[in-house]
């Protein structure tokens, strides 16, 4: 877990600092001052330092590494029941300041990197800030690419929804026209059966002719083909290109 509390991170008010911690405090001040000089916002909260570079948070802290060695127990410790027989024989582990610093950082909330000082590579503010700026620029570019991909994904999803709506609309229109056309055809068949009935008396023929005019008008009204073929094609989604 990325946390300055997992180690004894150096702060400006570290009490009774070792020589390494003093140098760490100087490095923190120099790095923060340089970041502000280059126009980056800087803040510190609970030992965790944060720079805002290219709109990307760069979080970091510094601590002094310790080295361990075995030392014999004191006479008092040897008489104490707090130590095992093995510890009384072999000694205890003692941690001492090493004088060397470790920088821990993460960029844009991702991962964790530890950078350790070496005898001929002590921390300097300018190279470290150059590193932060380069990583932040990469993170900003990655974030932009991810945001663009997210926008493309949303557009593709919206296009799929629109396509499904169009397909459903065309499907419903086709079935609605089929039903209307079939109903009109059945009605005309029925009209034909009535008008072709034989024999008919003269008074019946008069009544049938009047009814046929009304019934054919109704058939024409519900038949999609009577509105013109371009209208049929448009309702099927085959409009003019």
189: pLDDT strictly greater than 70: yes
* Res 127: pLDDT: 97
Tell me if 56 sits within 8 A of 139, measured CB to CB. Answer: yes
| C-alpha to C-alpha distance for 15 and 51, rounded to whole angstroms | 25
CB 65 within 8 A of CB 101: yes
Q: What is the pTM of this model?
A: 0.64
Residue 105 to residue 144: CA distance in whole angstroms: 22
pLDDT at 35: 97
83 or 193: which leads in pLDDT = 193
Q: Does residue 62 surpass a pLDDT of 90? A: yes
* pLDDT score, position 95: 67
Dist. CA 224–CA 222, nearest whole Å? 6
Torsion angle of the four alpha carbons 41, 42, 43, 47, in this order, in degrees rounded to the nearest 10: 150
- For residue 171, pLDDT over 80 is answered with yes
Strands of 110-116's sheet, edge to edge? 41-45, 48-53, 56-71, 92-107, 110-116
The pLDDT value recorded for residue 2 is 77
CB neighbours (10 Å) of residue 111?
Answer: 9
Give which of 163, 65, 72 is closest to 115, Cα–Cα.
65
Give the position of tokens 């974030």.
Answer: 143
Q: Under a CB-based contact definition with an 8 Å cutoff, are residues 33 and 130 in contact?
A: no
pLDDT value, residue 7: 85
**Residue 183 pLDDT more than 90?**
yes
Average pLDDT (48-65) is 96
Q: Name residue 60's beta-bridge partners.
A: 49, 105
For residue 241, the model assigns a pLDDT of 64
Number of separate helices (H) and strands (E) present in the chain = 6, 5
pLDDT at site 237: 81
Nearest to 219 by CA among 175, 194, 189: 189
Mean pLDDT of the 191-209 span: 92
Name the DSSP letter for residue 13.
Answer: T
Whether residue 77 has pLDDT greater than 80: no
For residues 177-206, average pLDDT = 93
Confidence bin at 80 (pLDDT 50/70/90): confident
Predicted confidence band of residue 103 (pLDDT cuts 50, 70, 90) = very high
- Of 130-134, 166-170, 176-180, minimum mean pLDDT range: 166-170
Q: For residue 51, is the peptide bond before it cis, meaning its omega torsion is within 30 degrees of 0?
A: no
């Amino acid at each position: 877990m990325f946390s300055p509390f997992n180690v004894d991170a150096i702060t400006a008010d570290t009490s009774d600092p070792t020589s390494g911690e003093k140098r760490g405090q100087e490095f923190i001040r120099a790095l923060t001052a340089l970041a502000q000089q280059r126009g980056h916002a800087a803040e510190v909260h609970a030992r965790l330092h944060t720079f805002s570079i290219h709109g990307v948070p760069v979080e970091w802290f510094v601590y002094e590494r310790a080295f361990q060695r075995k030392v014999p127990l004191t006479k008092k410790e040897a008489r104490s029941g707090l130590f095992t027989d093995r510890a009384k024989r072999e000694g205890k582990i003692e941690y001492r300041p090493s004088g060397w610093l470790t920088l821990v950082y993460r960029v844009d909330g991702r991962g964790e990197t530890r950078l350790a000082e070496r005898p001929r590579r002590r921390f300097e503010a300018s190279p470290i800030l150059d590193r932060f700026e380069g990583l932040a620029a990469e993170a900003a570019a990655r974030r932009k690419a991810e945001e663009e991909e997210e926008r493309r994904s949303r557009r593709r999803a919206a296009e799929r929804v629109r396509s499904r709506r169009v397909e459903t609309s065309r499907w419903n229109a086709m079935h609605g026209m089929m039903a209307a056309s079939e109903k009109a055809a059945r009605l005309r068949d029925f009209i034909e059966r009535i008008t072709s009935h034989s024999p008919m008396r003269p008074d019946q023929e008069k009544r049938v002719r009047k009814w046929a005019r009304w019934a054919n008008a109704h058939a024409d009204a519900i038949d999609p083909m009577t509105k013109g073929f371009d209208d049929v094609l448009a309702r099927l989604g085959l409009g003019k290109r």
